[in-house]
Amino acid sequence: MGYPDNVLANDEQVVLHRHPHWKRLIVPVLVLLVASALAAFGAAVVAETDWDPTAKQVVQLVIAAGWLILVGWLTVWPFLTWWTTHFVITDRRVMFRHGLLTRSGIDIPLARVNSVEFRHGLADRILRTGTLIIESASQDPLEFYDIPRVEQVHSLLYHEVFDTLGTEESPS
């Protein structure tokens, strides 16, 4: 489990490590496909014209530069953002890390978790994703969006919280 190992305490164990749901990548993939098709079509149209070879080359370079900017901004950047976002549950805490150039994150000790909720609409239910809401002792509720299999994560986190607390309410 590559990422979280470098931030764990000596005897801390990862229980769950997830990236956001793949639904976040649907629009970037569609942008890649449409932009590539349009750029290829534009380059083919320019190649068939009877313009001066230098003019053709300049227009094709403009098409290629536009494609690179569009794909970089609307496809590569969202993918890298998705790839560098981590939701991790250990036997001691919940960690959320995100960001590519500027990283940020939050750690919530399991002993400080008051309640765990989840929310998902029809589309999220079909895609098996949703929003996990964690309320801790000292903060407003934190919402983590697009958590894959949110109901399982909710149940797992509930069990971990009560196992950590060692209360009689523990579902074990």
Q: Encode pLDDT of 64-110 as tens digits.
A: 999 999 999 999 999 999 999 999 999 999 999 999 889 899 999 99
Question: Across all residues in the chain, what is the average pLDDT?
Answer: 90
Identify which has the larger pLDDT, 7 or 38.
38
**Res 66: pLDDT:** 97
Residue 1 lies in a domain: no
Among 17, 50, 81, give the residue marking a domain's end. 81
Among 38, 62, 81, give the residue marking a domain's end. 81
**Res 8: pLDDT:** 84
Residue 172 lies in a domain: no
Q: How many CA atoms, within 13 angstroms, populate the side-chain half-sphere of residue 78?
A: 18
Residue 13 lies in a domain: no
**Residue 18 phi, psi dihedral angles, 5° rounding:** -135, 150
**Res 2: pLDDT:** 47
Lateral strand order in the sheet of 86-90: 14-18, 86-90, 93-98, 104-109
Average pLDDT over residues 29-44: 97
**Number of domains the chain contains:** 2
Check residue 26 and report its DSSP letter: H
Check residue 138 and report its DSSP letter: T
Q: Residue 170 pLDDT more than 70?
A: no
